[in-house]
Amino acid sequence: MNETRESGEGPERFRQFLTGQTAERVFTWPTSHPSQPTGFCACDRGRVAAGWFYLKAAVLLAVLRWPFNGLKVWLLRRAGARIGRHVYVSADVWIDPSFPQLLTIEDGVMVGVGARIAMHEYGRGRFCAGRVVIRKGAVIGGFALIGHGVEIGEGAVVAGGAVVGRDVPAGMMAVGNPARVRPLTDHD
C-alpha cells in the first residue's frame, strides 16, 4: 500500500476539494495503480457503501441514455450537479457518475447526443479530478469529450467529436482531436 493511502492525507484533501473547501479547480495526488486501493475510488469503501454507489451510478448512466430531458436534469441535480434553467441533455450522453458534484452547467446549455463529460482520471502514478463548468449558452456537439477541470466559456461551441482538455474561452469554438480553439463564424 502506498504511503499517501496509509496516511489518509490525499483522501482527506480530496474530500475538502469535493465539498468546495478549496478554491482549486483541479485536484491532483500521487497514487498507485487504480487496481490497488487508492482512497479515491468508491470501490475502496466498505461493501455496502460501494454497492450503494454502484447502484446510484448505474441508475444515473441508464437515465442519461434515455431521450427524456427533464428526468435527466432532475437526476443530475439530485446527484449533486449544479444545473441551470433551460438546459438540454441529449440522449446517450455520458456524465462521470463518480463525482457529479464537480459539474456545473449554466442556463441555456445544450449537450449533444453521445457527448462525454469526465470529472476524473487516473494517470501514470497520479489521480486527478476537476470541476467542469459549462457557461451560459454554450453548445457541446455530439460525441464530444470534455475532460476534467475544463471550463467552456459563455456562448462557446464545442464541435461534434472534439476532444477538449483545455478551457474554451467565451464566444470561441473548439474543433478536432486534440481540440484547437478558433473564433466562431457566421457559418458555425
Q: Please tell me the pTM assigned to this model.
A: 0.92
Chain Cα centroid distance, residue 61: 13
* Per-residue pLDDT, 1: 41
Locate 167 and state its grid cell.
478551457
Q: Which pLDDT belongs to residue 181?
A: 97
Q: What share of the chain has pLDDT > 90, as a percent?
A: 79
What residue has cell string 462525454? 116
Would strands 172-175 and 157-158 be described as parallel, antiparallel, or unpaired? parallel
23-78, pLDDT tens digit by residue?
999 999 998 887 888 888 888 888 998 999 999 999 999 999 999 999 999 999 99
pLDDT value for 32: 83
Cell 469503501 -> residue:
45
How is the chain split into domains, by residue range?
3-183
Give bridge partners of residue 185 from the DSSP assignment: none
pLDDT at 26: 97
Share of the chain above pLDDT 70, in %: 96
> Residues 142-164: what's their mean pLDDT?
98
pLDDT in tens, 102-132: 999 999 999 999 999 999 999 888 999 999 9
- As its CATH architecture, domain 3-183 has 3 Solenoid (2.160)
- pLDDT, position 85: 98
SS3 for the chain is CCHHHHHCHHHHHHHHHHCCCCCCCEEEEECCCCCCCCCCCHHHCCHHHHHHHHHHHHHHHHHHHCCCHHHHHHHHHHCCCEECCCCEECCCCEECCCCHHHEEECCCCEECCCCEECCEEEECCEEEEECEEECCCCEECCCCEECCCCEECCCCEECCCCEECCCECCCEEEECCCCEEEECCCCC
Q: What is the pLDDT of residues 16-38, one digit of tens each?
A: 999 999 999 999 999 888 788 88
Average pLDDT, the chain: 92
- Tell me which residue of 58, 69, 170, 76 sits closest to 117, measured CA to CA: 76
